[in-house]
């Protein structure tokens, strides 16, 4: 499981747990608070009605005729009241009155409870003891929505409680407000949860982005690419990246030295053996023409040694570069023309014709010295493998924000077995005119320069003869 997903999953679990308990607490509180708010005015109503009844008491006898007349008229009254989500058209407040024994004297609900003994109901029982009498009773035992609240007030006469006035209100109407509010709270909670979850996803991506960049960098290094250390911020990940880069450089340096010592030793053996053999023969008494020939061999092999050492130093310097240093805007067509002009004498000596198709401005970002070296090596290879009187064509095109430098020759070409080896260090083919090999580092240098510029180099057969070299370079780095 990826680190980013773990962080996101941790955020999701914490958020889900937090939102669940918060939502549970709020929805439960929403069910209670409106009922608390309704209880207080019911207490007022109960006492107001109790006082109005007390005015009609005669000789400790409660008279409910006046109250009955009021509720008969109230029962017939219809109106239209839009209370938020509730449409109210009739009075839903209930009232019943008992004597001091708890026997119901008046019931606003069509008198169905009149004559019944309510002395055991909490609202009546506690009020007769001069305590706060209240109860909630379900009309249907298995239906919580059918609950009705009862709030009672004592009826006094000459300092004595002679009855109870109990006001009732069904929770059904207020449950509509509760349900609507709960739905809004749940909807808001879901939207908030999803929003915070999305934000958590981006936060987890932001936290793990340096790790992903470092992983990508490590993968590129393992594939042999020369990518620069990415931006990793200023925290521990940055220090880890720098430590990783130092470790890679140390390991690559050690491996690089070991490999170069082996390959360089192998390449130097040939010229050194030739020089040593010629020197030993020169110590003998030889004819003048043989002496000159061996001296010429020593000079030739010495020059070859020098070229190998110089190319090794050039390639070594480029291979140690992880990014371009002196980047500037270059015109590829101008660079090609300058290099061709610099090789005029060589081209004239071999009677080679160069056809330039590089008109126009082909600008890109790059390091001048490295690009010059790469183009020179490609063109020099084409010259060395071309026959006297041959033709070399150079073309530049631009596609998909990439420049294509195409160099074609009609020379000896490359054998099939060598196509996959030409970019290997110290691998070289015999030149057709001299039969000698080069240092085998020129195309390796071209490949390193191309990769530094985020480009590629490709060699393939030209038809009917020769080679096509294609150097691709992005317009912008």
Q: Are residues 135 and 42 in the same domain?
A: yes
Instruction: Count the helices and strands in the chain (H runs, E runs).
Output: 10, 14
Q: Which of 323, 354, 372 is the last residue of a domain?
A: 323
pLDDT at position 203? 77
Q: Quick one: 315 and 356 in the same domain?
A: no
CB 437, CB 430: distance < 8 Å: yes
- Given a contact cutoff of 8 angstroms between Cβ atoms, the answer to whether 425 and 263 are in contact is yes
**Are 308 and 361 found together in one domain?**
no
CA dihedral 206, 208, 211, 213 (to 10 degrees): -40
Q: How far is CA 95 from the centre of its chain?
A: 65
Last residue of a domain, one of 295, 323, 351: 323
Longest dimension (CA), the chain: 165
Residues 307 and 377 in one domain: no
In the predicted model, what is the mean pLDDT of the chain?
A: 81
Assess if residue 209 is contained within a domain: no
Condensed to tens digits (0 to 9), the pLDDT of residues 85-127 reads 778 888 889 999 999 999 999 999 888 899 999 999 999 999 9
Q: Where are the strands (E) in 334-401, listed by range?
A: 353-357, 363-367, 391-399
The CATH number assigned to the domain holding 409 equals: 3.30.565.10
154 CB-near residues (< 8 Å, 6+ apart): 50, 127, 128, 130, 161, 163, 164, 165
Is 201 part of a structural domain of the chain?
A: no
Q: Given this model, what pLDDT does residue 191 score?
A: 87
| Length, in residues, of the chain | 477
**Based on the domain organization, do 271 and 400 belong to the same domain?**
no
Burial bucket for residue 466 (CB in 10 Å: 0-12, 13-18, 19+): buried
Token pair listed for 293: 């020939």
Count other Cβ atoms within 10 Å, centred on residue 324.
17
Which tokens go with 417? Answer: 């077995």
Tell me if 303 is assigned to some domain: yes
DSSP letter assigned to residue 386? S
Mean pLDDT of 252-262: 54
Bridge partners for 270 per DSSP: none
Tokens 């009672």, residue?
A: 152
The torsion angles phi and psi of 460, rounded to 5 degrees, stand at: -150, 170
152 within a domain of the structure (yes/no): yes
* Same domain, yes or no: 16 and 142: yes
Reading the block at residue 390, the tokens are 């041959």
Residue 76, pLDDT score? 86
Here the tokens at position 121 are: 């109901």
Q: Cβ(174)–Cβ(149) under 8 Å? A: no
In a domain, 208, yes or no: no
**Within-domain flag for 198:** no
Residues 410 and 354 in one domain: yes
CB 166 within 8 A of CB 151: yes
For residue 309, is it within any domain? yes
**Where do we find the tokens 């050194």?**
272
Higher pLDDT, 5 or 337: 337
Same domain, 250 and 339: no
Least confident of 48-57, 380-389, 441-450: 441-450
Strands 391-399 and 456-461: unpaired
For the chain, how many structural domains are there in total? 3
Structure tokens at 454: 């985020």
CATH of the domain at 118: 3.30.450.20
Q: Both tokens of residue 327?
A: 């980047």
Residues of the domain holding 58: 3-179
Task: Give the separation between CA 301 and CA 115, rounded to whole angstroms.
Answer: 134
| pLDDT tens sequence across 179-220 | 777 778 888 888 888 888 888 777 777 777 777 777 777 777
> Could you tell me if 112 and 122 lie in one domain?
yes
**DSSP states of 34-87 as a string?**
HHHHHHHHHHHHHHHHHHHHHTT-BTTB---HHHHHHHHHHHH----EEETTEE
Q: Phi/psi zone of residue 46: left (φ > 0), alpha (ψ -120 to 50 degrees), beta? A: alpha
pLDDT of residue 372: 87
| Same-domain pairing of 252 and 316 | yes
In a shared domain, residues 166 and 106? yes
Domain boundary among 259, 290, 323: 323
**DSSP class of residue 323?**
S
What pTM was estimated for this model as a whole?
0.45
> Strand 467-474 vs strand 160-170: parallel, antiparallel, or unpaired?
unpaired
* Least confident window among 293-302, 341-350, 369-378, 428-437: 428-437
Phi first, then psi: what are they for 382, rounded to 5°?
-60, -40
Does residue 214 lie in a domain region? no
Of 22-31, 157-166, 322-331, 409-418, give the lowest mean pLDDT range. 22-31
Cis peptide before 235 (omega within 30 of 0): no
Of the candidates 449, 457, 426, the one whose C-alpha atom is nearest the C-alpha of residue 312 is 426
Residues 43, 62 within the same domain: yes
């Amino acid at each position: 499981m990826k680190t980013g997903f773990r962080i996101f999953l941790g955020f999701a679990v914490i958020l889900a747990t937090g939102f669940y308990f918060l939502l549970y607490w709020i929805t439960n509180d929403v069910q209670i608070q409106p009922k608390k708010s309704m209880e207080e005015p019911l207490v007022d109503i109960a006492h107001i009605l109790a006082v109005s009844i007390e005015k009609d008491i005669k000789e400790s006898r409660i008279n409910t005729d006046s109250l009955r007349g009021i509720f008969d008229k109230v029962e017939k009254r219809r109106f239209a009241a839009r209370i938020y989500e509730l449409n109210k058209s009739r009075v839903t407040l209930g009232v019943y009155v008992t004597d001091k024994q708890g026997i119901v004297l008046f019931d606003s609900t069509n008198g169905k409870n009149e004559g019944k003994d309510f002395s055991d109901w909490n609202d009546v029982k506690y009020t007769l003891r001069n305590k706060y009498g209240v109860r909630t009773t379900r009309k249907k035992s298995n239906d919580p929505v059918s609950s009705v609240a009862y709030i009672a007030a004592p009826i006094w006469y000459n300092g004595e409680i002679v009855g109870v006035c109990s006001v009732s209100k069904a929770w059904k109407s207020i449950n509509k407000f509760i349900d609507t509010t709960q739905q809004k709270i749940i909807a808001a909670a879901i939207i908030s949860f999803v929003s915070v979850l999305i934000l958590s996803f981006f936060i987890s991506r932001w936290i793990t982005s340096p790790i992903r960049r470092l992983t990508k960098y490590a993968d590129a290094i393992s594939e042999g690419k020369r990518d620069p250390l990415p931006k990793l911020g200023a925290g521990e990940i940055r220090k880890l990246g720098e430590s990783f880069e130092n470790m890679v450089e140390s390991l690559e340096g050690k491996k690089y030295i070991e490999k170069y010592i082996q390959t360089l030793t192998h390449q130097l053996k040939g010229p050194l053996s030739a020089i040593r053999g010629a020197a030993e023969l020169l110590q003998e008494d030889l004819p003048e023409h043989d002496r000159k020939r061996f001296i010429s061999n020593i000079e030739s092999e010495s020059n070859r040694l020098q070229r190998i050492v110089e190319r090794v130093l050039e390639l070594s310097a480029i291979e140690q570069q992880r990014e371009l240093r002196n980047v500037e805007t270059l015109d590829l067509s101008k660079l090609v023309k300058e290099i061709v002009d610099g090789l005029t004498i060589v081209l004239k000596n071999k009677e080679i014709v160069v056809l330039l198709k590089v008109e126009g401005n082909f600008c890109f970002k790059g390091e001048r010295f490295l690009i010059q070296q790469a183009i020179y090596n490609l063109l020099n290879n084409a010259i060395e493998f071309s026959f006297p009187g041959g033709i070399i064509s150079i073309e530049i095109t631009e596609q998909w924000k990439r420049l294509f430098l195409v160099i074609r020759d009609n020379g000896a070409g490359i054998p099939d077995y060598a196509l996959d080896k030409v970019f290997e260090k110290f691998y070289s083919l015999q030149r057709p005119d001299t039969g000698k090999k080069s240092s085998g580092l020129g195309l390796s240098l071209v490949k390193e320069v191309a990769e530094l510029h985020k480009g590629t180099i490709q060699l393939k057969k030209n038809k009917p003869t020769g080679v096509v070299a294609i150097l691709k370079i992005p317009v912008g780095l």
